[in-house]
Chain A
Amino acid sequence: MALVGDAISHSLLPGIAIVFLISNSRSTGLMVTGALGAGLVTVWLIEFIHKKTRVKPDAALGVTFTTLFSIGVILISVFADKVDLDLECVLYGEIGFIYFEDGKSIFGLEVPRPVIRMAGTLLFVTLLLVLFYKEMLVTSFDSGLATSLGIPTGWVYYGLMMVLSLVIVFSFESVGAIMVIAMLIMPSVTAALLSDRLPHILVMTVSFSSFYALSGLHLASWLNCSPAGAMVVSGFALFCMVWALSPRRGLILLGIKKYRHKKAEQFAREL
């Protein structure tokens, strides 16, 4: 499922472009509508192709998102004069520009609008997660059990996908379409190397993501490069570190174990 996020992040482009073309405005509500619509269409298409034909899910996913993404690019380039949408910004994000967006005053502090939007999304997602934690847990690990418990797995699945689209559309501004996938899977994969319990993983992902953000911004200002790229690079570096050093599944530990095993084997043979 990890790459569904990638697929959705690419296929949101035509959704946003169509909404722009029709309404010619960049209001948050419309953007969210376009994103949700595109997200749903993507997930539905992938399911449709995969279920109705013998095409494997990975190929269905690949075909779907590349098609939708191409349609988005074509729309934007054909109506380039009408769409005031920066493709580069959608692809890579420009977190540095957020500061320059017009802001709103909260407690005397000038807070840029994207920050407010993202805070709202965070609150919303956290609330949903707290409310539906059990349902999410069961459907994620055992959809058969979930169905037998009376949990509407289809609804949970589509709900999750819609929330995912929502999160992705808001993260366009900061990390862009391609690297949002990193922000989605890197923290959880890294945490999964360290623990097997979902609550622990959830807590760890939050701290990891904040680490990415902080170290990424520092790295970006040090190397004078793209902040989004730097965040993901620091995430990747953290993953590699954990992969090597993890006390339970680390590469080094694995190597030591293998070495000891070999030694023991040798010893056994000598005996």
Chain B
Amino acid sequence: MKTLHGNWKYFCWIGFVFVPGGDVFAAKIAELSNTQIGEQLVRFFSLRDPSVRYAIIASLLLGTCCGLLGSFIVVRKLALMGDTLSHAVLPGVALGFLWTMTKNPMAIFIGATIAGLVGTVVVHWIHTTTHIKEDSAMGLVLSGFYAIGICIFTMIQHLPTGNKAGLDKFMFGQAAALSTIDLIMIAVITTISTLLILLFYKEFLVTSFDYGFANSIGMPARFFHYLLMLLLAFSVVVALQAVGIVLVSAMLITPATTAYLLTDRMHRMLIYSSLFGMLAGVSGAFFSYLGNSLPTGPFMVVAASGLFTIALLFGNRHGIIPRWFRHADRTRRIQIENTLKAVYQIRERTQFKEDGVSLQQLGGQRNLPLVETAKEVKKLLKERYATIPKDKGGHFQQNLKLYLTPSGWENACRIVRNHRLWELYLTESAHYQPDHVHDDAEEIEHVLGEETVRQLERNLNFPIFDPHGKPIPSIIDLGESV
């Protein structure tokens, strides 16, 4: 095997700092890593160096463009279309190169776009004319086209005039080596994409979420599908120079997926996603600038993935940790409500003559060992739903009794009422057998809202007894306790 160098030479460029007049810093890249990070931060963001300026502008533009288009392919479940496209453009890049025998950006751009579009059409065609699934079709086109590209490139390399740097440049990207014309192309594509998305926002939205509906209201859904694919091909091609073939799909889907975790509204998703794209792009450019000989693309992707991980863990609505907390909270509330209900049932057995409930009774009712029951009681005490009288020394009495506070009693009545109303509803309106309704009511009692309960009551004509003949605590009972 050959050893690894050479490939990374280009990436050194991002490490160069061109301070006019041949400053000491311009001498060697290695010295850069010895300077302070703060100093480098200042240098990076003061935009003194033209290559850094280009890299930052390119990353900002690409972040916007990829974020906007990526949102649409993520909600269309076409996330891997970006990957397919980025691999499928390779033969176009190679042919564009062969056409002029120089790295003419325009020729490469045209070739790559055509190849990318042919790729998407072939995927669509395979998918519609055979029983092959879309992901397999993507895999076929991805690898087939990519292989054609590799073959042409290796043939070029073996030509006497072949420029060896041609292929490697496109693998991992080199944002700092972008030329002015590259930058102009990125800017043009970003502007076109943004404008088209703003203009046809409604159309893109409808075709993305409900293709059939879009067709039925006379929208040219297929046209918008291919327009999106065209924009996607454009952005993939211009992004190749900065992030590289393998990772351009990440710039499309990772910021968009991050945004998808944070919001349910498409317009917000577009905004978030382009912001994340910009952030990832700039921090990728910065990190690769920090060290020497580091490629831009992987750092952009890792930055984007970092944002994704944060959203995944801490996102307000869909994040794992907040959801875990919400779940724990709900479980706790259900436990408390079950205990309150148990107290109600115990008191009901004595026709509510006995106020206090002992720990043993409660444990028996809830079918829990004493230790667990004590834990449940502690929760009640903490929520001030119950009190346990203490003697003068501040100690609990010998055989302690639990007394519900007014708010505790109100909640207990509410739960029992929900439970019994639901049971009655199931037997009366849904014709369940009375012995089949308990388990269902056991679950629903915790989530019935006040409005639903009122409606149930009205529909059932303000009932007094549940299907098992037990009285349903009425609103008056609830009020009396307060």
Report whether chain A binds chain B: yes
| Residue positions of A touching B, CB distance < 8 A | 1-3, 5-6, 10, 49, 52-56, 58-63, 66-67, 69-71, 73-74, 76-78, 80, 83-89, 91-92, 94, 97, 178-179, 181-182, 185-186, 189, 192-193, 220, 223-226, 228-233, 235-236, 239, 243, 249, 251, 254
- Among B222-230, B247-255, B357-365, B474-482, the one that faces the other chain is B247-255
Question: B residues within 8 A CB of A182?
Answer: 139-140, 143-144, 147
Question: B residues within 8 A CB of A5?
Answer: 139
| The residue from A55, A80, A178, A185 contacting B261, defined by CB atoms under 8 A apart | A55
Cβ A67 vs Cβ B301 within 8 A: yes
Question: B residues within 8 A CB of A226?
Answer: 150-151, 153-154
**Minimal beta-carbon separation of A168 from chain B (angstroms):** 13
| The residue from A67, A225, A233 contacting B302, defined by CB atoms under 8 A apart | A67
Question: A residues within 8 A CB of B261?
Answer: 53-55
A140–B74 Cα distance when bound, in Å, is 26
Cβ A71 vs Cβ B298 within 8 A: yes
Question: B residues within 8 A CB of A181?
Answer: 139, 142-143
Cβ-closest chain B residue relative to A26: B1
Besides A3-B138, A243-B129, 12 new A-B residue pairs in contact (Cβ under 8 A), listed by A number: A3-B139, A5-B139, A54-B260, A54-B318, A58-B77, A59-B253, A62-B82, A80-B5, A88-B7, A226-B151, A236-B140, A239-B140
Which 8 A-B residue pairs are closest in the complex by CB-CB distance? A236-B144, A232-B147, A182-B143, A66-B250, A229-B150, A70-B298, A67-B305, A70-B301
A70–B172 Cα distance when bound, in Å, is 9
A179–B147 Cα distance when bound, in Å, is 7
Cβ B4 vs Cβ A59 within 8 A: no
Cβ A2 vs Cβ B133 within 8 A: yes
**Minimal beta-carbon separation of A8 from chain B (angstroms):** 13
Interface assignment of B169: CB less than 8 Å from any CB of chain A:
no
| The residue from B2, B151, B256, B260 contacting A89, defined by CB atoms under 8 A apart | B2
Scoring B residues 73 to 98 as 1 if CB is less than 8 Å from chain A, else 0, what string do you get?
Answer: 01001111011000100000000000
Question: B residues within 8 A CB of A235?
Answer: 144, 147
**Minimal beta-carbon separation of A192 from chain B (angstroms):** 7
Cβ-closest chain A residue relative to B80: A58
- From residue 108 to 140 of chain B, which have CB atoms closer than 8 A to chain A? 126, 129-133, 135-136, 138-140
Scoring B residues 135 to 170 as 1 if CB is less than 8 Å from chain A, else 0, what string do you get?
Answer: 110111011111111111111001000000000100
**Minimal beta-carbon separation of A29 from chain B (angstroms):** 18
Q: A71-B302, A239-B140 are in contact. Are A52 and B132 (CB under 8 A)?
A: no
A14–B391 Cα distance when bound, in Å, is 67
Cβ A225 vs Cβ B293 within 8 A: no
A88–B5 Cα distance when bound, in Å, is 10
Cβ B298 vs Cβ A254 within 8 A: no
**Minimal beta-carbon separation of B168 from chain A (angstroms):** 8
Question: B residues within 8 A CB of A94?
Answer: 1
Question: B residues within 8 A CB of A59?
Answer: 74, 77, 79, 253, 256-257, 260
| The residue from B78, B83, B129, B254 contacting A251, defined by CB atoms under 8 A apart | B129
A254–B128 Cα distance when bound, in Å, is 12
- Interface contacts (Cβ under 8 Å), in number, total 214
Cβ A89 vs Cβ B154 within 8 A: no
**Minimal beta-carbon separation of A129 from chain B (angstroms):** 20
Cβ B249 vs Cβ A62 within 8 A: yes
Interface assignment of B351: CB less than 8 Å from any CB of chain A:
no
Q: List 11 A-B contacts (CB under 8 A).
A: A2-B139, A59-B257, A62-B83, A62-B249, A62-B250, A77-B295, A85-B1, A223-B155, A229-B148, A230-B147, A243-B129
A181–B74 Cα distance when bound, in Å, is 22
Cβ A92 vs Cβ B150 within 8 A: yes
Question: B residues within 8 A CB of A77?
Answer: 8, 11, 293-295, 298
Cβ-closest chain A residue relative to B294: A77
**Minimal beta-carbon separation of A249 from chain B (angstroms):** 6
Scoring B residues 431 to 450 as 1 if CB is less than 8 Å from chain A, else 0, what string do you get?
Answer: 00000000000000000000
Cβ B7 vs Cβ A233 within 8 A: no
Question: B residues within 8 A CB of A63?
Answer: 250, 253-254, 257, 305, 308
A10–B138 Cα distance when bound, in Å, is 16
Cβ-closest chain B residue relative to A236: B144
**Minimal beta-carbon separation of B284 from chain A (angstroms):** 9
Cβ B247 vs Cβ A66 within 8 A: yes
Cβ A185 vs Cβ B151 within 8 A: no
A249–B250 Cα distance when bound, in Å, is 35
Interface assignment of B13: CB less than 8 Å from any CB of chain A:
no
Question: B residues within 8 A CB of A223?
Answer: 151, 155
**Minimal beta-carbon separation of B76 from chain A (angstroms):** 10
A16–B120 Cα distance when bound, in Å, is 33
Interface assignment of B67: CB less than 8 Å from any CB of chain A:
no
Cβ A178 vs Cβ B87 within 8 A: yes
Q: A62-B79, A62-B82, A225-B155 are in contact. Are A74 and B298 (CB under 8 A)?
A: yes
A94–B153 Cα distance when bound, in Å, is 15
Q: A3-B80, A10-B246, A54-B318 are in contact. Are A74 and B140 (CB under 8 A)?
A: no
A161–B7 Cα distance when bound, in Å, is 31
- From residue 51 to 86 of chain B, which have CB atoms closer than 8 A to chain A? 74, 77-80, 82-83
Question: A residues within 8 A CB of B140?
Answer: 182, 185-186, 189, 236, 239
**Minimal beta-carbon separation of A229 from chain B (angstroms):** 4
Question: B residues within 8 A CB of A73?
Answer: 172, 295, 297-298
Interface assignment of B236: CB less than 8 Å from any CB of chain A:
no
Interface assignment of B312: CB less than 8 Å from any CB of chain A:
yes
Interface assignment of B291: CB less than 8 Å from any CB of chain A:
yes
Cβ B143 vs Cβ A225 within 8 A: no
Interface assignment of B171: CB less than 8 Å from any CB of chain A:
yes
